[in-house]
Amino acid sequence: MLAPTSQVLLRNSEIFTSGRWLLVNPADAHICQDLSDSDVSVFHQFFDIYQQSQRLGEAAKHRFGASYTSDELFDGAVIYMPKAKEHAKMLLANVAACLKPGAQLMLVGENKSGVKSAAKLLEPYCKQVNKIDSARHCALFGGELTQTAKPFDIIAWQTVQTIDVAGLSYQICSLPGVFSHGEVDIGTRVLLENLPRYHSGRVLDFGCGAGIIGCFVALSQPTSKVVMADVSALAVYCSEQSALLNKLNVDVQPSNGLKALSAKFTTIITNPPFHTGIQTDYSVTETFISDCKNYLTSEGALILVANQFLRYAELLEKQFKNVTLVQQTTKFSVYSCLRAR
Ligand SMILES: C[S@@+](CC[C@H](N)C(=O)[O-])C[C@H]1O[C@@H](n2cnc3c(N)ncnc32)[C@H](O)[C@@H]1O
């Protein structure tokens, strides 16, 4: 079934019947099929929906990346409201630069995603913002672009900061929409400050965000081959930039779970996700834990930090022969899990 936000767009499908449209970060892949009679291109920052959309057809219409550029300007665009307001602002700046003057600029989102602030977010770009529709606990807001927007430069949205973690000082690039933007998550800090000894070799930072864990490993174990993976194009971009800032030779890949990764790792280190968009979602990490063994060498280990309220211990014990609770704080647990005893 289509996401409620996409259902709202379908109720208003006549909007898309004239001109070229850009859809940004759709919550599901099927909306593109349902709008296939219209001229719709899609900008994805999430690899899972991007891959699903490509499989459903017209692959050339779908682009995955941290930002979007287009030689030919669009007549309209709809942005699915992201979780972070700053991310919405960055997307609006990017998308407005891809529109003709007078084009339609819209935001659709669930009420709980903060879409009620859409009118304010659109005001810098549109003279008059209207609520076009509201249904399924969602709203669609839009207006006419008053003038050609400034060219978009992602660098203007980046922050670079020096972080000090577990005795290392290094630089991290971050963007709105990336996990723990501009700061080190407490769970990540607990993990890095309590890392047990692990095999260097081929080390994966799963769900790398801005690259804090991957860069830490590459700096502290220079002989290891570090791979970082994330479903978010913004995270992939920031991890690449963070590696460059620290002159590290790492491999950063977009991946939904472990699916896009090949060959085995000696160690996987992660602060895994428990959200998809604005929804709490344990399924990504549950699937990751089940699949993990297939991506580890026979002597390989998984090192994971989790909030106390997440009951991953049982799952880990089902999949690994030897699970050790390395550290426990009032909020976080760090586990080390070995494939072999
Ligand atoms: C808790 S954050 C950790 C980020 C970073 N490692 C840190 O410690 O700051 C989890 C990360 O997992 C990513 N993620 C969410 N779903 C994913 C999926 N299906 N596949 C890969 N990564 C995913 C998120 O984009 C986010 O960057």
Residue 269 near ligand 1, beta carbon < 6 Å: no
Distance 276 CA to ligand 1 centre (A): 9
Residue 257 near ligand 1, beta carbon < 6 Å: yes
pLDDT of residue 88: 97
Residue 255 near ligand 1, beta carbon < 6 Å: yes
Residue 224 contacts residue 217 (beta carbons within 8 Å): yes
Residue 231 near ligand 1, beta carbon < 6 Å: yes
Residue 214 near ligand 1, beta carbon < 6 Å: no
Instruction: Please check whether the two domains, 4-153 and 158-338, share a CATH topology.
Output: yes
Which amino acid is it at 312?
Answer: Y
pLDDT of residue 341: 52
CA dihedral of residues 36, 259, 335, 270 (deg, nearest 10): -70
Domain ranges of the chain: 4-153, 158-338
Q: Specify the CATH architecture of the domain 158-338.
A: 3-Layer(aba) Sandwich (3.40)
| CA–CA gap between residue 33 and residue 39 (Å, rounded) | 11
**Residue in the structure block whose two tokens are 């998809």:** 276
Residue 196 contacts residue 261 (beta carbons within 8 Å): no
Low-confidence ranges of the chain (pLDDT < 50): none
- Which CATH superfamily is 4-153 part of? Vaccinia Virus protein VP39 (3.40.50.150)
Close Cβ partners of 232 (under 8 Å, ≥ 6 residues apart)? 45, 46, 47, 177, 178
pLDDT of residue 340: 64
Residue of 64, 165, 208, 334 to test ligand 1 pocket, by largest number of atoms within 8 Å of CB = 208
With CA atoms as reference, report the closest residue to 175 among 115, 111, 240. Answer: 240
How does pLDDT run across 268-293, given as a tens digit for each residue? 999 999 876 667 778 889 999 999 99
Residue 204 near ligand 1, beta carbon < 6 Å: no
| CA–CA gap between residue 21 and residue 76 (Å, rounded) | 5
Q: How many CA atoms lie within 13 A of 226 on its CB side?
A: 26
Residue 285 near ligand 1, beta carbon < 6 Å: no
pTM: 0.96
Residue 168 contacts residue 151 (beta carbons within 8 Å): no
- Output b/e per residue, 94-133; b: 16+ Cβ within 10 A: bbbbbbeeebbbbbbbbeebbbeebbebbeebbeebeebb
Atom of ligand 1 nearest to the CA of 275: 15
| CA–CA gap between residue 220 and residue 230 (Å, rounded) | 21
